[in-house]
Chains A and B, each alone.
Chain A
Amino acid sequence: NAGVTQTPKFRVLKTGQSMTLLCAQDMNHEYMYWYRQDPGMGLRLIHYSVGEGTTAKGEVPDGYNVSRLKKQNFLLGLESAAPSQTSVYFCASSYDLSDSNQPQHFGDGTRLSIL
């Protein structure tokens, strides 16, 4: 059981380049989330999805786009990367936040540097 898998694990981009981060889950979860984590700022929600074909904005959505064409995959896109987007990106999935045993399952992150 792989859980939540993020690819790639590391990436270095130049300012202005574009890329897509992939998150895949094998738990048949409805909810999926993209967060960024910066030193001293905790996890901040970028975008999330409550089901296949749906997306919604979180706290810090500017500069990012997402798509959820398949239930198991949630893609995060950077159209024109900026140094301010240097961060560690985490994906999470959830069956139901009220599940007291495991409200959210997290991947191990993608470390992205924008030069």
Chain B
Amino acid sequence: EDQVTQSPEALRLQEGESSSLNCSYTVSGLRGLFWYRQDPGKGPEFLFTLYSAGEEKEKERLKATLTKKESFLHITAPKPEDSATYLCAVWGYSSASKIIFGSGTRLSIRP
């Protein structure tokens, strides 16, 4: 059974303090790993798709990386507007048209 575990559950940083969010996964054949951002009262907003180990994607202060067992979302010099919940999800070959989400990391950036 495909599984996704995100850590930590919550993270509070000072503006400019870089850190990383972790997404550990178990899947029988990875087709894709997705990162989403979710603001309060809104639906998830797509950030990145990673397909194979060693792949990296960047967008502004965010960089996502992928290994065979986990993915990291690195946040460099964050700003208060980066505060949100970050969701990781996996799509496996055994899951047909379904993806499995982790429970998310709530990120708070203090000015």
Contacts and interface: CB of A to CB of B under 8 A. Distances in A.
Interface of A: 4, 31, 35, 40-45, 48, 50, 56, 58, 90, 92, 97-98, 100, 102-109
Contacts of B9: 40
Contacts of B104: 42
Nearest to B91: A97
A97 B103 contact: no
Given A102-B46, A104-B46, A108-B41, A43 B91 contact: no
Given A42-B103, A103-B49, A109 B43 contact: yes
Contact of A42 (B46, B91, B102): B102
Contacts of A90: 43-44
B31 to A, nearest CB: 7
Contacts of B59: none
Interface of B: 4, 9, 31-32, 34, 41-46, 49, 51, 87, 89, 91, 97-104
B97 A50 contact: yes
Contacts of B98: 45, 48, 58
23 contacts: A35-B101, A40-B9, A40-B103, A41-B103, A42-B4, A42-B101, A42-B102, A42-B103, A45-B99, A45-B100, A48-B97, A58-B98, A97-B31, A97-B91, A97-B99, A100-B49, A103-B32, A103-B49, A104-B46, A106-B43, A107-B43, A108-B43, A109-B41
Contacts of B31: 97-98
A105 B36 CA distance: 11
